[in-house]
Structure 1
Amino acid sequence: MKARLVNEFRTYLDPDNDSWDSLDEIVIDNLFFDWKKSDWTLRFGRQDLIYGTGKLILDGTPKDGSRTIYFDAVKLTYSGFADTTVDFLLLHTQAQDPLAMHTQDRDIVGFTGGNAFDGAETGGGVYVKNKSIEKLPFEAYYLIKTHEQDVSFLNNNDRHTVGTRLMPTLTTHLKGNLEAAYQVGDDISAFMIDAKAVLFIEALAAQKARLGLGWYYLSGDDPDTSKDEGWNPLWARWPQYSELYVYAYDTDGAGRWSNLNMPYIDFSISPLKKLKINLLLGYMWAPEDNGAGGGHDRGLLITCKNNFTLKEKLFTQKDKLSGHLLFEFMEPGNYYTDDQQDHTASFLRAELIYSF
């Protein structure tokens, strides 16, 4: 059994807003029970679930920001096959948390109508992980997300997703990731491709330097057909590549990544033992030109995240003071209006964490 509580409150300077004021809600972030017999393991209750690189399953509560990512779920794992695990999933997270203490009746999934307690993120599936080939581990899955109630103008039919992920070791210093998935349902036909090659730079091995070349593609909905071709990120409505650009999708329901074609390069290095720098440079297009500007160019994205540890063992043998600085810039393209193109978007976040 594991239990975890969380409380998050905020102060807004402009406009003056007390919607997340202290004390706010106290949320049961994790509360689950494990049961194991032979090759079977059952986990029942409120739990975190992260699969792959988080492109389909990572965040069950997308509308509460970074406060929680939990799922109210049942996960049954079978490990009786060699080098293989099979997870059977059943997910049902309500739009408003019925267990919240000092509740603020807050919507945590992005529900947009009716009684929010009737809304939910619901579905399930089967997720297989296999490591029988040493240099080519792979994953395969079937997922279903049932009638969505969070965005009224999108296709609400049940959505079935099938996909696979390959993680080849190409050479001693070169590794890859390739994930492809397809979504079907009544009047639904959408797909995703997530590809990346990572070079571990031998000359900078002591600094753990890595150079990545990637491509992320999410289909967009073609308004000239009767089908819905727009990719649905299921339970992956989190910032993914950008804390700034995730808000570009907020009108579609809290981080609903779709209609995106982004090649990118990234670089990671630790010049000091307690400092890690992550850089990303990408250009974003929209496969479907459904933006206010009428073009396909979403724009240039630049991100820089610096993770650091200031001090360890301040008061105990295990405590630590750490944090990060995050800078992001986005130069809008012709997917946006002329006025929007005249304004570079920027994002800055500084964080300090004391853990013990």
Structure 2
Amino acid sequence: MNKRYTTQLLSLFSAALLNAEIEFDGQVRLRYESFDNMNEKYYGTKPLLGESHDSYLMTRVQLGLTYKLDDEWSAKVSMQDARVFDWGFNSSDWYNKEFGQVNSTQTDFFELGKTYLQYKKNSVTVTAGRQSISYGDLRVFGPGEWKNSGKWIWDAVKVSLKDGENFLDFFYGATMLHDPDDFSLNHRHGYHGGGVYSHYVYKKDAAIEPILAYKINDKKNEIYNSLESFYAGARVYDTDLKSFFFDATYIKSFGDYTKLNNETVGIEGVGYHADGGYNFKQIDTRVGLGYSYASGDNPNTSDNESFDAVFGASDKYYGRLNLMQWINLKDYELFAIFTPNEKINIKAEYHKFYANEPGNKWMSYTIASMQNDHYGDEFDIFGTYKYSKEIDLLLGVGYFMSGSYIKEAVTKNSYITDENAFGLVAQFTYSF
């Protein structure tokens, strides 16, 4: 009886696969980057690791296959290969003390990509497996795909409820770690966590998005014994308010952080962003001002006030050279966006960066005695061109001018030098 039942199940499964609709997709992305007087970890001409002048080619190949079994059920399997040629770093340079293993967001050799089972009926969608989870402007939940292998990839279950343009999503899972020499199913995850993200359109071109999230790492490591952090906040925006626009996000973090000496302290962090401006429709240009804030830890209090950017992407928000993140930051921004047609987008931006707490970590440095808070100023101009449905091109340059923080840091850390930094990026993407 069992054998016949198993045979029948296999026959039904085989028939379903034979009748399934199969789709192939993929992407090839090539990006050349060249940086002077900086790299991803260190600033100046004397980095502890890597090169101070580093030029390299990044390649990322993604191949996927989707089975649509019927109108409700589908399954996706994909692979990703991300490499960097002539890079100044080795895989071992990306050992992460928080997770006790290598975690490189630039390299992943023959790795499992988005792979999940999905059920969709009426207004309900359930997705279980490896997936990208991103919402809104990607500031709180974003995949960080500017990084070659992606910063945040989830093994999770997500439930989405949709009503027209409005939706309510719940998810729970764990974040993937990237070790190019070890397949991800053979090692641990990073954080465990989840979130609730909702989107309510209150008028055309405007919405409010309430946000809840949490992250946990209860494995003792080289930095702390355990971390349990919760987040609550919201985003609200309007892209066309009589030609004006605004976008604002506020997130409060709270929870517990247990140090290596078993002392438990409360988490009391804050992060927010606001920008706004005017859309000059006659010349296809938007001009605006922005301000981003993330609290740092005040050494004179018992709580840990550091805000840690939740699961967000920092790739395009706090300067395109990626010297800053939404952590211990005050960022004043002036920007202009020129979009003459649907194929071309050019953004010029100027940033003035400050530390909220100068003694907190910046890049790979922590200099507790710092007094000056002005990291420096950065100017970037990046343009994208959609050559065709399949091909996208990008070209950008950035220039960073060191401020009083770096001038002081030079006197206290021999691996920092007071130089201005430059970056050049050229990218080709083919999607099918």
Fold similarity call, TM over 0.5: yes
Does residue 244 of structure 2 align to residue 162 of structure 1? no
Q: Distance in 2 between matches of 1:150 and 1:283?
A: 37
One-letter code aligned to 2:297: D
Alignment identity in percent?
A: 21
List per-residue Cα deviations over 1:296-344 (Å, max 9, x = no partner).
11110111112124x54xxxxx543x42112111112122244456300
Q: Distance in 2 between matches of 1:126 and 1:16?
A: 37
1:301 alignment partner, one of 378, 390, 393:
378
Q: Please, which runs of 5 or more residues in structure 1 have no aligned partner?
A: 98-102, 109-115, 249-254, 313-317
Moved over 6 A (4+): 15-20
1:214 alignment partner, one of 290, 300, 306:
290
Q: Distance in 1 between matches of 2:377 and 2:220?
A: 30
1:196 alignment partner, one of 275, 279, 286:
275
Relative to structure 1, the CA distance from residue 138 to residue 224 in structure 2 (aligned partners, 3 Å threshold; closer, same or farther) is same
TM-score scaled by structure 2?
0.66
| Structure 1 residues 16-35: aligned runs within 5 Å | 25-35=109-119
Task: Report the CA distance between 1:67 and its aligned residue.
Answer: 2.1
Does residue 135 of structure 2 align to residue 51 of structure 1? yes
- Give the match for residue 171 of structure 2: 89
Task: Report the CA distance between 1:28 and its aligned residue.
Answer: 2.3
- Give the match for residue 247 of structure 2: 177
Task: Report the CA distance between 1:270 and its aligned residue.
Answer: 3.5
Q: Distance in 1 between matches of 2:218 and 2:285?
A: 42
Q: Distance in 1 between matches of 2:404 and 2:134?
A: 35
| Structure 1 residues 223-302: aligned runs within 5 Å | 223-242=299-318, 245-247=321-323, 257-270=326-339, 274-290=343-359, 292=367, 293-302=370-379
Q: Please, which runs of 5 or more residues in structure 2 have no aligned partner?
A: 1-74, 94-103, 257-265, 361-366, 411-415
List per-residue Cα deviations over 1:87-126 (Å, max 9, x = no partner).
11112124357xxxxx612789xxxxxxx93442210121
Q: Distance in 1 between matches of 2:342 and 2:145?
A: 34
RMSD: 3.3
For the pair shown, the structure with the greater C-alpha radius of gyration is 2
Q: Distance in 1 between matches of 2:406 and 2:381?
A: 24
RCO greater where, 1 or 2, for CA within 8 Å and sep 6 or more?
2
TM-score scaled by structure 1?
0.79
When the two structures are aligned, how many residues end up with a matched partner? 322
The structure with the largest strand share of the pair is 2
Relative to structure 1, the CA distance from residue 226 to residue 155 in structure 2 (aligned partners, 3 Å threshold; closer, same or farther) is farther
2:212 alignment partner, one of 119, 126, 142:
142
User: Residues 111 and 184 of structure 2 are in contact (CA less than 8 Å); yes or no, is this contact kept in structure 1?
Assistant: no
- Give the match for residue 130 of structure 1: 200
Relative to structure 1, the CA distance from residue 327 to residue 270 in structure 2 (aligned partners, 3 Å threshold; closer, same or farther) is same
Relative to structure 1, the CA distance from residue 133 to residue 296 in structure 2 (aligned partners, 3 Å threshold; closer, same or farther) is same
Q: Distance in 2 between matches of 1:66 and 1:13?
A: 13
- Give the match for residue 15 of structure 2: none
List per-residue Cα deviations over 1:264-294 (Å, max 9, x = no partner).
1111113577543211101011111216453
Q: Distance in 2 between matches of 1:237 and 1:96?
A: 16
Where 2:85 maps in the other structure, the secondary structure is coil
